């Protein structure tokens, strides 16, 4: 992969899962990394791993749902490194359940992180990205192409990201900024261990079997490579590619499969019950 020595990557949601793995991947290809999320102690661990790989790391506590925090983090990043080349708008979580069991506040909470959090990230990083002709990656999902029952808040939020990436692709191109829509299928992380408030449920079970879930480092490598290559879109995981293909060319087949099997979106994480 292209060397990114002297370049700087800014990642939201870098305290675990795909974001933390992307931080390590950027370090491997020579970039310095600004890692942001709410859990500072976890960010310090990620920053230590980045330094062990020979790159500089700046861990910054930053909540994407709070106005002004991203601007403050970007200000600190520029002060420390003098530039921003790659931005991964990655922070997110999932609100799950059938519509009749959810409230408007559940949808609002989902959008506040997955949609408005991404908008705040774009707003705070747009100018340095234009200045350094950088790359902006927006974390969508296969759920931004296919909406299953019991997953409407998450799917709605990711459909919004698909649309935002498409608009920004045209708007930022004339300024020399590449926009990449990132759409993973199942990847191993903490996402399916969180409840509808976004709280981590220690010891909860991942409903996705390990064989179907892509290794986090493999996913991060594919995402960083696509961002470096300034691709418009990257669909991560084989099952994700198949599903998006089917949705595009034979949506009736997917609908028939979903109706027949009763497949649905995931359930909110619950503590494991001892038997
Ligand atoms: N894993 C998958 O199967 C999968 C598939 C498709 C898309 N995605 C997307 O990938 C992204 C990363 O998720 P993941 O799978 O790596 O899950 P994860 O391990 O739970 O990571 C989510 C990250 O987002 C951060 N975050 C959550 N709310 C935040 C907030 N308000 N402000 C700042 N940071 C916040 C979390 O850190 P703190 O709690 O420390 O703030 C954490 O670092 C998400 O956008 C998710 O929708 C994941």
Instruction: List the Cα angle 26/27/31 in 5-degree steps.
Output: 70
Does the beta carbon of 237 lie inside 6 Å of ligand 1?
no
Token pair of 80, please? Answer: 């420390």
Does the beta carbon of 18 lie inside 6 Å of ligand 1?
yes
Residue bearing the bigger pLDDT, 203 or 131: 131
Instruction: State pLDDT tens for residues 19-70.
Output: 999 999 999 999 999 999 999 999 999 999 999 999 999 999 999 999 999 9
Does the beta carbon of 40 lie inside 6 Å of ligand 1?
no
Instruction: State pLDDT tens for residues 59-89.
Output: 999 999 999 999 999 999 999 999 999 999 9
| Residues with Cβ within 8 Å of residue 110, at least 6 apart in sequence | 93, 94, 95, 153, 154, 156, 157
Q: What mean pLDDT is reported for the chain?
A: 95
CA–centroid distance, 13 to ligand 1, in Å, is: 5
107 catalytic per annotation: no
Does the beta carbon of 37 lie inside 6 Å of ligand 1?
yes
pLDDT computed for residue 153 by the predictor: 98
CB-CB contact of 204 with 270 (8 Å): yes
| pTM, entire model | 0.96
Q: pLDDT tier at 201 (50, 70, 90 boundaries)?
A: very high
Does the beta carbon of 111 lie inside 6 Å of ligand 1?
no
Does the beta carbon of 38 lie inside 6 Å of ligand 1?
yes
275 pLDDT more than 60: no
pLDDT computed for residue 1 by the predictor: 67
Atom of ligand 1 nearest to the CA of 93: 47
Per-position DSSP letters for 106-117, written without gaps between them: HHHHHHHHHTHH
Q: pLDDT tier at 264 (50, 70, 90 boundaries)?
A: confident
Torsion (CA) 122, 64, 187, 267 in degrees, nearest 10: -130
Atom of ligand 1 nearest to the CA of 154: 47
Compute CA distances 25 → 47, 91, 223, whole Å: 12, 17, 10
% pLDDT > 70, the chain: 97
**Which of 26, 107, 154, 249 is labelled catalytic?**
154
Atom of ligand 1 nearest to the CA of 20: 43
Strand arrangement, sheet containing 57-61 = 57-61, 32-37, 8-12, 86-89, 135-139, 178-184, 233-236
% pLDDT > 90, the chain: 90
Q: pLDDT tier at 145 (50, 70, 90 boundaries)?
A: very high
CA–centroid distance, 242 to ligand 1, in Å, is: 24
Q: pLDDT tier at 263 (50, 70, 90 boundaries)?
A: confident
According to DSSP, residue 193 is labeled G
> Closest Cα to atom 1, ligand 1: which residue?
187
């Amino acid at each position: 992969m292209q060397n990114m020595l002297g370049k700087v990557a800014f990642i939201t949601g870098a305290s675990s899962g795909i974001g933390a793995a992307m931080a390590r991947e950027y370090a491997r290809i020579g970039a310095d990394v600004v890692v942001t999320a709410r859990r500072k102690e976890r960010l310090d661990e990620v920053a230590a791993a980045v330094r062990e790989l020979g790159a500089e790391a700046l861990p910054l506590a930053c909540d994407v749902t709070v106005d002004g925090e991203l601007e403050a983090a970007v200000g600190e990043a520029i002060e420390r490194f003098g530039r921003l080349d790659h931005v991964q708008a990655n922070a997110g979580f999932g609100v799950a359940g059938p519509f009749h069991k959810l409230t408007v506040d559940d949808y609002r909470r989902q959008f506040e992180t997955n949609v408005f959090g991404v908008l705040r990230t774009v707003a705070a990083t747009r100018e340095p990205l234009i200045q350094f002709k950088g790359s902006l990656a927006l974390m969508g999902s296969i759920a931004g192409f296919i909406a299953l029952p019991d997953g409407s808040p998450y799917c709605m939020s990711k459909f919004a990201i698909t649309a935002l990436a498409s608009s920004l692709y045209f708007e930022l191109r004339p300024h020399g900024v590449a926009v990449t829509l990132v759409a993973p299928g199942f990847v191993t992380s903490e996402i399916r261990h969180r409840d509808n408030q976004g709280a981590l449920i220690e010891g909860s079970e991942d409903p996705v079997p390990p064989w179907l879930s892509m290794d986090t480092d493999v996913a991060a490598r594919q995402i960083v490579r696509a961002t470096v290559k300034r691709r418009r879109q990257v669909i991560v995981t084989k099952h994700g590619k198949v599903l998006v293909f089917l949705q595009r060319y034979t949506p009736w087949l997917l609908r028939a499969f979903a109706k027949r099997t009763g497949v649905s979106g995931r359930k909110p994480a619950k503590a494991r019950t001892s038997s």
